[in-house]
């Protein structure tokens, strides 16, 4: 029987962390490592680091890190068993039957049931759409919107018919408990405790996750007419977090990477209509304002976003709300506002993709759009200008890059006809930027922060042991451990000493796994990403110096202990004279 550990190893052999992470984060080579913008926290300069040798990643900003499984879990919000299964499937590694603890198993089963419920619901809605009688209204709607059959199938569109318990009965028949269906968000529960279908008389759009399996994690349901609410989405569940999802992302990821841009629209139908006409790099928000998480994910694969809005006031307001997010995440963004009376769906269906592409190509930056919208036609009105500036300054203070900020000020000056120096000094008056916020991009700064109370000497010693494993044999048993006062560093060195010489190789990762404390592991990961402090040629010299230092320390310590015992001091002095040769034990 294959063990779970060996399956894990096998996956690691196959799943190179740089290529796995590289599918979701744009990585650049930097020395021995790769760096990119962290998908787990907002940052403008890369502190997210991936090491190919170590097969580990670490973010110097938010401290998230670990191996390829840790990445997969964090990025896709999955449990370890799920990540293991995903990667095992992907890299054709067979997993043993039993490999998890009872607790892990229980949690995994619970989530597995939620996935199953969503999958069954998707199947149910698809069948209902195909039903000659019950699905007719849904099919008519899709036909009216010119959506071809192959796309209906590819995106697994469905229909939730009239009635309160069609899905409920279907799930019960498939041995899904009502409680589970409720947790998966497809049933609602009345005050009296009765369960009923959440989606009724709606065209159903399943929302898939970004894993290769494209698992259904939630649904958006759209009414057939103008009734409100226009969209109903799955509520928050353990699998579905509306704020971090984009519709159609799984399908468009490749195209976004290839074209470098992501076209963001507001509705599911808009997204599908554009795809039908051949624009593949398109995603839709889930009827909510765009939030940081999806922007961060887009930033991981594309170079710019073009946000498309309806011409109505709500559309424009939505456009304006997204500016701070794009500025914050520093993903260049453009804004397209469609002609009055159009949404992307109606526009592309009536005028074709060429006309739509022209709008995309001519799109102004979101910043310009924002200022134009705010200033409106009242450009001569000083009071109005001031009120616009009051709105825009707080946003500008979030732009930490000085060059970029200067560019925005220049644009602002052109548009408001207020001299740049005046704007600069007004902005400085707010005094909110720079001083307080530590630049998170300074990797060297982050490395320096590692030292804390630790002496450079002990850090160099650990660095030497890690980068030149052959020095372990030369330094172990030479009292070098006594040079270390920091408990974390001691614990790590003990693991290295203990493990050295055993049959298995003591990799960076094995050391990390043997550390019991989370804080030790984080510190160690961060430390491990530092380069060697000496070159190959200097190793011998470094070893010699550490041994000498350790000897001196041992003698000094003995002195302290022997104070008051003249005989002992004499002995030590004699030894000190002879010192130079090894004094090891």
Please give the residue ranges that form the binding site for Zn ion (CB under 5 A): 38, 40-41, 59, 61-62
Nearer to Zn ion, 293 or 373 (CB): 293
Nearer to Zn ion, 59 or 88 (CB): 59
Helices (H) and strands (E) in the chain, counts: 26, 15
Nearer to Zn ion, 62 or 223 (CB): 62
Partners of 65 in the β-ladder:
58
Nearer to Zn ion, 62 or 426 (CB): 62
Structure tokens at 544: 């010699």
Nearer to Zn ion, 125 or 524 (CB): 524
Residue tagged 């930027």 (tokens)? 433
Q: Residue 527 CB, nearest distance to Zn ion (Å)?
A: 17
Nearer to Zn ion, 325 or 371 (CB): 325
Q: Residue 48 CB, nearest distance to Zn ion (Å)?
A: 6
Nearer to Zn ion, 20 or 338 (CB): 20
Cβ atoms of 222 and 172 within 8 Å: the answer is no
Q: Residue 523 CB, nearest distance to Zn ion (Å)?
A: 16
Strands (E), 121-210: 158-160, 187-189, 195-197, 202-208
Q: Residue 309 CB, nearest distance to Zn ion (Å)?
A: 30
Alpha carbon of 544 to those of 239, 347, 582: distances in Å?
56, 76, 10
Q: Residue 98 CB, nearest distance to Zn ion (Å)?
A: 35
551 Ramachandran zone, left/alpha/beta (phi>0; psi -120 to 50) = alpha
Cβ atoms of 213 and 86 within 8 Å: the answer is yes
Structure tokens at 513: 């796994």
Tell me which residue of 195, 230, 203 sits closest to 219, measured CA to CA. 203
269 Cβ neighbours under 8 A, 6+ residues apart = 145, 147, 222, 345
Nearer to Zn ion, 40 or 369 (CB): 40
**Could you say which DSSP state residue 283 is in?**
E
Q: Residue 39 CB, nearest distance to Zn ion (Å)?
A: 8
Q: Residue 400 CB, nearest distance to Zn ion (Å)?
A: 16
* Rounded Cα distance, 509 and 66, in Å: 8
* Rounded Cα distance, 216 and 206, in Å: 6
Nearer to Zn ion, 62 or 532 (CB): 62
Q: Residue 38 CB, nearest distance to Zn ion (Å)?
A: 3
Q: Residue 164 CB, nearest distance to Zn ion (Å)?
A: 45
Nearer to Zn ion, 185 or 528 (CB): 528
Tell me which residue of 296, 366, 372, 377 sits closest to 333, measured CA to CA. 366
- Backbone torsions φ then ψ of 313, nearest 5 degrees: -65, -40
DSSP per-residue string spanning 329-347: HT--EEEEEPPTT--HHHH
Q: Residue 14 CB, nearest distance to Zn ion (Å)?
A: 26
Q: Report the side by side order of strands in the sheet with 28-30.
A: 28-30, 33-36, 48-51, 56-59, 65-66
Q: Where are the alpha helices (DSSP H) in 229-379?
A: 249-259, 268-276, 292-299, 313-329, 344-361, 366-375
Q: Residue 21 CB, nearest distance to Zn ion (Å)?
A: 13
């Amino acid at each position: 029987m294959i063990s779970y550990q060996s399956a894990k190893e096998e996956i690691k052999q196959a799943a190179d962390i740089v290529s796995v992470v590289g599918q979701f984060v744009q990585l650049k080579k930097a020395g021995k490592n790769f760096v990119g913008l962290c998908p787990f926290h907002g940052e403008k300069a890369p502190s997210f680091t991936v090491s190919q040798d170590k097969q580990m990643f670490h973010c110097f900003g938010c401290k998230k890190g670990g191996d390829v499984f840790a990445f997969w879990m964090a990025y896709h919000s999955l449990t370890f068993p799920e990540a293991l299964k995903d990667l095992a499937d992907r890299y054709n590694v067979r997993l043993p039957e039993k490999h998890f603890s009872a607790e892990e198993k229980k949690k995994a089963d619970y989530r597995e049931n939620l996935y199953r419920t969503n999958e069954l619901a998707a199947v149910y809605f698809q069948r209902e759409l195909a039903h000659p009688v019950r699905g007719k209204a849904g099919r008519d709607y899709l036909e009216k919107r010119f959506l071809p059959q192959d796309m209906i199938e590819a995106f697994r569109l469905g229909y939730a018919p009239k009635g309160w318990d069609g899905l409920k009965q279907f799930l019960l028949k498939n041995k899904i408990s009502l409680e589970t269906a409720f947790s998966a968000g497809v049933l609602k529960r009345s005050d009296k405790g009765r369960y009923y279908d959440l989606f009724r008389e709606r065209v159903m759009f399943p929302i898939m996750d970004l894993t290769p399996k494209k698992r259904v994690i939630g649904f958006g349901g759209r009414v057939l007419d103008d009734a409100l609410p226009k969209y109903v989405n799955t509520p928050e569940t353990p699998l579905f977090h509306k704020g971090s999802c984009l519709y159609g992302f799984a399908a468009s990821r490749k195209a976004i990477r290839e074209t470098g841009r992501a076209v963001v629209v507001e509705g599911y139908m808009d997204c599908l209509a554009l795809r039908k006409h051949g624009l593949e790099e398109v995603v839709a928000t889930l009827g909510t304002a765009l939030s940081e998480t999806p922007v961060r994910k887009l930033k991981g694969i594309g170079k710019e976003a073009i946000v498309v809005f309806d011409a109505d006031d709500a559309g424009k307001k939505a456009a304006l709300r997204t500016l701070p997010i794009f500025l914050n995440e520093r993903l260049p963004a453009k804004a397209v506002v469609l002609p009055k009376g159009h949404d992307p769906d109606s526009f592309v269906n009536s005028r074709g993709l060429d006309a739509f592409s022209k709008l995309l190509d001519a799109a102004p930056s979101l910043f310009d759009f924002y200022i134009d919208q705010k200033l409106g036609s009242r450009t001569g009105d000083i009071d109005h200008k001031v009120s616009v500036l009051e709105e825009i300054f707080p946003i500008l203070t979030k732009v930490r890059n000085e060059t970029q900020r200067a560019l925005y000020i220049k644009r602002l000056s052109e548009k408001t006809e207020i001299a740049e120096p005046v704007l600069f000094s007004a902005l400085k008056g707010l005094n909110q930027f720079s001083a307080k916020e530590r630049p998170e991009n300074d990797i060297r700064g982050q490395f320096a922060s590692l030292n804390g109370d630790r002496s450079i000497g002990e850090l160099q010693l650990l660095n030497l042991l890690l980068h030149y494993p052959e020095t372990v044999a030369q330094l172990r048993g030479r009292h070098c451990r006594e040079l270390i006062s920091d408990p974390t560093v001691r614990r790590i060195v003990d693991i290295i000493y203990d493990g050295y010489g055993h049959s298995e190789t003591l990799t960076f990762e094995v050391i990390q796994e043997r550390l019991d404390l989370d804080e030790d592991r984080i510190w160690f990961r961060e430390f491990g990403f530092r380069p060697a402090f000496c070159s190959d040629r200097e190793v011998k010299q470094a070893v010699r110096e550490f041994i000498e230092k350790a000897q001196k320390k041992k003698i000094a310590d003995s002195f302290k202990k022997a104070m008051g015992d003249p005989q002992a001091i004499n002995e030590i002095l004699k030894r000190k004279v002879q010192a130079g040769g090894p004094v090891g034990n």
